Amino acid sequence: MIIGGKSMSVRKFKYVIVGAGLAGVSAIEGIRERDPAGAVLLIGEEPHLPYDRPPLSKKLWTGKKQEAEIYLHPREWYEQLAVELLLGKRVVDLDAAGRTVAVEGDRRRVGYEKLLLATGGTPRILNLPGADLPGIIPYRTLDDYRAVRALAEPGAGALVIGNGFIGAEMAAALSLSGVNVTMVYPGERLIPRVLPEGLGRALQAAYAARGIELLPGQRTVAFTREGDGIVAATDRGRTVKTKFVVPGIGISPSTELAAAAGLALGDGIRVDERMATSDPSIFAAGDNAGFVHPGPGGRRRLEHWDNAVQQGRHAGRSMTGALEPFAAMPYFFSDLFDFGFEAVGELDPLMQVEADWTRENDTGVLYYLRDGLVRGVMLCNVWDKIEEARELIRAGRRVRPEELRGAIR
Ligand SMILES: Cc1cc2nc3c(=O)[nH]c(=O)nc-3n(C[C@H](O)[C@H](O)[C@H](O)COP(=O)(O)OP(=O)(O)OC[C@H]3O[C@@H](n4cnc5c(N)ncnc54)[C@H](O)[C@@H]3O)c2cc1C
């Protein structure tokens, strides 16, 4: 390649992974299962060694984990697997025809034989007046955690926007840390895209009983600075004066590189059952990948921890030439005060949901059925039963609701 009249060499790697998150790191494991020696480069925009995100809204707040414990692997792990790390660097261009990427600030491009886009997602930003004020912190990264932590003194006020997982988990985490939390969201209950109405309302009541002020059915419309605080106004005329704000309104999959390179997109980067994109040398996995779910549900994109692990590993194997179709059925989990769950399959509250409670809205199993088939299972404060739930879904057998009583305990 000639740049400015000078010949620029390309640094070549057999495998290049863009995105040093969970899917990217899991891909290393997949690659090394089949290719012990091929040169691997892992490029990540964040300056930290790859880490786990779930503790950012849970265990780091309850004291069950310290920051030093959230890293996926120590630096030596990468050294032992002969993986070169390029951290604190953003990939800014992908030339799919030339099989190279450009790294911000580096004149030399990086060449690949196989590339993985494990770029995850970025938090959606509120498009509102004042949404860029300091103290309004969309929540995704370790640096976001540190920024919120620095503000989250006991007795301080926090406004959490959103009733999905991040909003609900952050409200619980901050409340447990002594912060006075207000939650605002346009819906009528918590986690409405997954929890059936009764459970969502019961959880909401539990939040209120914990002292969280809930403002359902309203939207924030503007933020203004007042002294050292922020005033948020809602469309119902409420104002909330607070020290800081955590918007948890979802993420957008990071597809810019794929889009600019002309790869097929849908919801996220479209991949086949090997996690290959429309370019057979380029793969995608994790929060940014729209794939065909082997269980029920068809093509979709998941934003869950186990999905990133399984897809990342699978993509890594495929990058070495493996032809296996993706067959895993990833689970997901959450912790909301005393209510914790693990779930697998398709969980749409509009489906028929059969509840087998041993303690109502606290401990038991929810079965999500469509056409008489169990498509999804949520294990509420019931642990180590994910494999049984997967078997029930895979069996694909028509069941009568009464057969499900005690099916998983
Ligand atoms: C606070 C929080 C709590 C969560 N809790 C749970 C939970 O309880 N249960 C659950 O199942 N899931 C949970 N999740 C979701 C889970 O963590 C994600 O599904 C998982 O992290 C996705 O992994 P990923 O590798 O696809 O993406 P990410 O983890 O987002 O990693 C992608 C990485 O790529 C980097 N990157 C992006 N673009 C570029 C570029 N151009 N160049 C270089 N680097 C780039 C990003 O900076 C990022 O570090 C949680 C997520 C968050 C944020």
Q: Is 268 in the pocket of ligand 1 (CB under 6 A)?
A: no
Mean pLDDT, range 276-283, rounded to an integer: 98
| Predicted confidence (pLDDT) at residue 345 exceeds the cutoff of 90 | yes
Q: Which of 119, 137, 378 to mutate to test the pocket of ligand 1 (most atoms within 8 A of CB)?
A: 119
Report d(CA 37, CA 73) in Å as an integer. Answer: 19
State the pLDDT at residue 52: 98
Q: Is 336 in the pocket of ligand 1 (CB under 6 A)?
A: no
Going from N- to C-terminal start, the domains of the chain cover: 2-122+252-319, 125-249, 338-404
CATH number for the domain formed by residue range(s) 2-122+252-319: 3.50.50.60
Q: Is 70 in the pocket of ligand 1 (CB under 6 A)?
A: no
| Predicted confidence (pLDDT) at residue 293 exceeds the cutoff of 80 | no
- Tallying the residues shown for the chain, one arrives at 409
pLDDT digits (tens, 9 = 90+) for 206-222: 999 999 999 999 999 99
Query: Which residue minimizes the CA distance to atom 28 of ligand 1?
Result: 120
Query: Which residue minimizes the CA distance to atom 38 of ligand 1?
Result: 119
Q: Contact at 8 Å (CB) between 115 and 94?
A: yes
pLDDT digits (tens, 9 = 90+) for 314-339: 999 999 999 999 999 999 999 999 99
Mean pLDDT, range 358-376, rounded to an integer: 96
State the pLDDT at residue 9: 84
Q: Is 46 in the pocket of ligand 1 (CB under 6 A)?
A: yes
| Predicted confidence (pLDDT) at residue 124 exceeds the cutoff of 70 | yes
Q: Give the tokens for residue 177.
A: 């840390």
User: How far is ligand 1, taken at its centre, from the CA of residue 141, in Å?
Assistant: 8
How many Cβ atoms from other residues are within 10 Å of residue 13's Cβ?
Answer: 21
Q: Helices marked H in 55-158 — which ranges?
A: 59-62, 75-80, 142-151
Q: Is 103 in the pocket of ligand 1 (CB under 6 A)?
A: no
State the pLDDT at residue 188: 96
How many Cβ atoms from other residues are within 10 Å of residue 241's Cβ?
Answer: 13
Q: Which DSSP string do the residues of 253-289 spell out, in sequence order? A: E--HHHHHTT--EESEEE--TTSB-SSTTEEE-STTE
State the pLDDT at residue 5: 36
Among positive and negative, which fits the CA dihedral 202, 203, 208, 213? negative
| Predicted confidence (pLDDT) at residue 347 exceeds the cutoff of 80 | yes
Q: Which of 16, 17, 18, 22 to mutate to test the pocket of ligand 1 (most atoms within 8 A of CB)?
A: 22
- Write down the residue that tokens 């078997």 correspond to: 391
Band of residue 297 on the pLDDT scale cut at 50, 70, 90: low
Closest by CA to 122, choosing from 53, 218, 191, 43, is: 53
Mean pLDDT score of the chain? 95
Reported as type and span, the H/E element at residue 26 is helix 22-34
Q: Is 90 in the pocket of ligand 1 (CB under 6 A)?
A: yes
Query: Which residue minimizes the CA distance to atom 4 of ligand 1?
Result: 54
Same CATH topology for 125-249 and 338-404: the answer is no
Q: Is 20 in the pocket of ligand 1 (CB under 6 A)?
A: yes
CATH number for the domain formed by residue range(s) 338-404: 3.30.390.30
State the pLDDT at residue 37: 96
Q: Which CATH number fits domain 125-249: 3.40.50.2000, 3.40.630.30, 3.10.270.10, 3.50.50.60?
A: 3.50.50.60
Report d(CA 106, CA 93) in Å as an integer. Answer: 11
State the pLDDT at residue 4: 38
Is pLDDT larger for residue 340 or for residue 297?
Answer: 340
For 374, phi then psi, to 5°, come to -75, 120
Closest by CA to 183, choosing from 234, 139, 146, is: 234
User: How far is ligand 1, taken at its centre, from the CA of residue 138, in Å?
Assistant: 14
Q: Give the tokens for residue 98.
A: 């030339």
Q: DSSP character for 51?
A: B
Question: For ligand 1, what atom is nearest to the CA of residue 311?
Answer: 26
Q: DSSP character for 22?
A: H
